[in-house]
């Protein structure tokens, strides 16, 4: 609990957390409403997992007896082939393949387009606010993640790509999220993965009660964690991320994008009543900001490893560590970045990130003024990311990062082979390294942002000088 916040806010109280301010109302979620959600979870998903594991074990025994090749260990394939043979699996299949009455496919399709309309701002915001701030400071979520080992620098890049791949699959086109589509299937795989992680941690807690603090954090991947995750995807871009780039989504865009993740939350077994309207969604996000976000030692480890990993992405995605830190401070504010022990880059990197903000704001205005350009950007971004990430090393979201007693992570330096060194945008002779050392690590995207910043600054300076000369000439004419 953050000691600077009232433990039980009253309607009319002004709440401030890490640079975000709002007024508490009766519609916000009090701790009396959120705390019980820690002990609730996707019981149908967990029951379906147990049935699938039982069927998997029977199939494996049969193959051994017959001397045939072992069956597939893909849980979704087993579900697909055997859901009619078990009451629980039938219920799980029917629930996830029956479209709720409130789903409007045209609205969801518009919501999918929103991601690609502001693709740079959404991606940067998701990485720097969604991961650096939100994931690191959500203690229950982060305690689960570190026990899977997926926030080790050796595994983090792959995990980030899997998360982003899921996001691309569920936004590729409308057919992808309809029953049987690849995004729909990927979402059900993620649901079964969450159930597997929960089952494993609870199993370890039976013999090692101190392995995971259930009294404090609740059941692993509980209902509150799930609501928090959907809120991070659906609400944070609207009120915590895009406004930092001076982009204000239209009311229709907000409604459509939240509707998309309400449906995805339904598929994931998340309680979705708090996402029925835009107002409820915003109040849910603000309630979680007030109650759930606080930094711990684990938060600092996760933030450190995340920056180590992202700062070592291969070209053309490589960006420098100081650019990430500058962007994190721009979006999240100094208070949380200081708590996470992030560095304080100088003016040069602040200028580069300012160029990033000018770039995305300029693109947003151009797309709003020129519909054809908007269509081009959406199609180009969607096709590019689907080809490069959506289809690259397609993952089945299987249970790879298995929690074990003693398995945890600490701060780790990123290690890589010489052949996979990130591309350096600027290469200077060795004798200049000490003079220009800080600029030798910027990547392609940073060069573009720097160019935009310098061009915009030069244009603004030229306009000011021209206006001054014009005013001076007018004054001389009057004299």
**Helix pair 87-97, 43-66: axis angle to 10 deg:** 120
pTM: 0.89
Report the pLDDT value the prediction gives residue 420, as an integer from 0 to 100.
Answer: 44
Stretch 324-348: mean pLDDT: 92
User: Is 124 contained in some domain?
Assistant: yes
Lowest mean pLDDT among 30-34, 51-55, 373-377, 461-465: 461-465
Instruction: Specify whether the CB–CB gap between 443 and 422 falls below 8 A.
Output: yes
Running DSSP on this structure, what letter comes out for residue 301? H
What's the pLDDT band for 6 if we cut at 50, 70, 90?
A: low
User: Is 269 contained in some domain?
Assistant: yes
What's the pLDDT band for 134 if we cut at 50, 70, 90?
A: confident
User: Is 154 contained in some domain?
Assistant: yes
Share of the chain above pLDDT 70, in %: 86
Average pLDDT, the chain: 85
User: Is 405's pLDDT higher than 70?
Assistant: no
Report the pLDDT value the prediction gives residue 159, as an integer from 0 to 100.
Answer: 79
Query: How many domains does one find in the chain?
Result: 1
Place of tokens 């959406």: 378
The model's pLDDT over 418-449, given as tens digits with 9 standing for 90+, comes to: 444 444 445 445 544 444 444 557 888 888 99
Of 203-207, 301-305, 349-353, 412-416, give the range with the top mean pLDDT: 349-353
What's the pLDDT band for 402 if we cut at 50, 70, 90?
A: low
What's the pLDDT band for 83 if we cut at 50, 70, 90?
A: very high
User: Is 205 contained in some domain?
Assistant: yes
Lowest mean pLDDT among 45-59, 124-138, 375-389: 124-138
User: What is the dihedral angle through the alpha carbons of 338, 127, 6, 12, rounded to the nearest 10 degrees?
Assistant: 130
Stretch 441-459: mean pLDDT: 87
Stretch 134-155: mean pLDDT: 75
List phi, psi (to 5°) of 17. Answer: -145, 110
Domain encompassing residue 276 = 97-312
**396 vs 351 pLDDT, higher one:** 351
Instruction: Specify whether the CB–CB gap between 230 and 194 falls below 8 A.
Output: no
Report the pLDDT value the prediction gives residue 1, as an integer from 0 to 100.
Answer: 40
Report the pLDDT value the prediction gives residue 414, as an integer from 0 to 100.
Answer: 63
Q: Report the distance separating Cα 240 and Cα 377, nearest Å.
A: 23
User: Is 220 contained in some domain?
Assistant: yes
Stretch 360-374: mean pLDDT: 94
Instruction: Specify whether the CB–CB gap between 358 and 120 falls below 8 A.
Output: no
Instruction: Specify whether the CB–CB gap between 251 and 257 falls below 8 A.
Output: no
What's the token pair of residue 280?
């409820």
Report the pLDDT value the prediction gives residue 470, as an integer from 0 to 100.
Answer: 78
User: Is 336 contained in some domain?
Assistant: no
Contacts 24+ apart (CB under 8 A), 94-99: 95/44, 96/179, 96/184, 96/188, 96/191, 96/267, 97/179, 97/180, 98/179, 99/178, 99/179
Contacts 24+ apart (CB under 8 A), 433-442: 438/322, 438/346, 438/348, 439/348, 441/320, 441/321, 441/322, 442/319, 442/320, 442/323, 442/352
HSE, CB side, 13 Å, CA atoms: give it for residue 275. Answer: 29
Q: How many whole angstroms from its chain centre is CA 456? A: 30
User: Is 461's pLDDT higher than 60?
Assistant: yes
Stretch 382-409: mean pLDDT: 66
Q: How many whole angstroms from its chain centre is CA 221? A: 16
Running DSSP on this structure, what letter comes out for residue 17? E
User: Is 159 contained in some domain?
Assistant: yes
Q: Report the distance separating Cα 402 and Cα 194, nearest Å.
A: 11
């Amino acid at each position: 609990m953050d000691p600077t916040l009232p433990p039980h806010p009253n309607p009319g109280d002004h709440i401030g957390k890490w640079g975000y301010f709002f007024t508490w109302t009766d519609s916000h979620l009090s701790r009396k409403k959120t705390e019980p959600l820690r002990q609730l979870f996707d019981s149908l998903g967990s029951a379906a997992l147990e049935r699938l594991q039982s069927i998997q074990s029977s199939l494996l025994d049969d193959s051994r007896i017959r001397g045939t090749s072992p069956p597939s260990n893909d849980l979704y394939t087993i579900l697909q082939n055997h859901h009619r043979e078990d009451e629980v699996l039938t219920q799980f299949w029917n629930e996830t393949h029956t479209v709720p009455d409130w789903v409007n496919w045209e609205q969801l399709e518009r919501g999918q387009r929103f991601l690609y309309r502001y693709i740079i701002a959404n991606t940067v915001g998701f990485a720097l606010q969604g991961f650096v701030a939100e994931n690191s400071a959500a203690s229950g979520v982060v305690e689960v993640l570190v026990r899977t080992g997926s926030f080790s620098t050796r595994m983090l890049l792959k995990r980030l790509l899997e998360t982003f791949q899921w996001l691309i699959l569920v936004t590729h086109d409308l057919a992808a999220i309809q029953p049987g589509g690849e995004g729909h299937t990927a979402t059900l795989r993620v649901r079964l993965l969450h159930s597997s992680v929960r089952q494993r941690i609870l199993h370890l807690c039976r013999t090692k009660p101190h392995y995971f603090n259930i009294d404090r954090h609740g059941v692993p991947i509980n209902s509150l964690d799930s609501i928090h995750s959907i809120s991070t995807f659906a609400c944070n871009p609207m009120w915590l991320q895009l406004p930092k780039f001076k982009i204000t989504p239209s009311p229709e865009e907000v409604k459509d994008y939240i509707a998309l993740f309400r449906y995805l939350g339904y598929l994931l077994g998340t309680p979705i009543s708090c996402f029925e309207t835009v107002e409820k969604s915003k109040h849910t996000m603000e309630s979680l900001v007030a109650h759930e976000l606080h930094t711990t030692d684990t938060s600092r480890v996760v933030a450190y490893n995340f920056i180590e990993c992202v700062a070592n992405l291969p070209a053309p995605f490589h960006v420098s560590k100081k650019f990430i830190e500058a962007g994190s401070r721009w979006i999240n504010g100094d208070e949380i970045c200081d708590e996470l022990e992030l560095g304080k880059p100088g003016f040069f990197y602040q200028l580069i990130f300012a160029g990033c903000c000018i770039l995305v704001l300029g693109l947003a205005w151009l797309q709003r003024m020129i519909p054809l350009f908007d269509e081009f950007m959406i199609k180009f971004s969607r096709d590019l990311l689907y080809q490069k990430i959506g289809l690259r090393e397609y993952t089945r979201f299987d249970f790879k990062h298995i929690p074990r007693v003693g398995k945890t992570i600490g701060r780790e330096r990123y290690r890589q082979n010489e052949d996979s060194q990130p591309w350096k945008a600027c290469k200077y002779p060795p004798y200049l390294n000490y003079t220009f050392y800080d600029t030798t690590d910027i990547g392609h995207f940073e060069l573009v942002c720097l160019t935009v910043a310098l061009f915009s600054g030069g244009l603004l300076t030229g306009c000011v000088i021209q206006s001054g000369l014009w005013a001076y000439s007018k004054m001389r004419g009057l004299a």
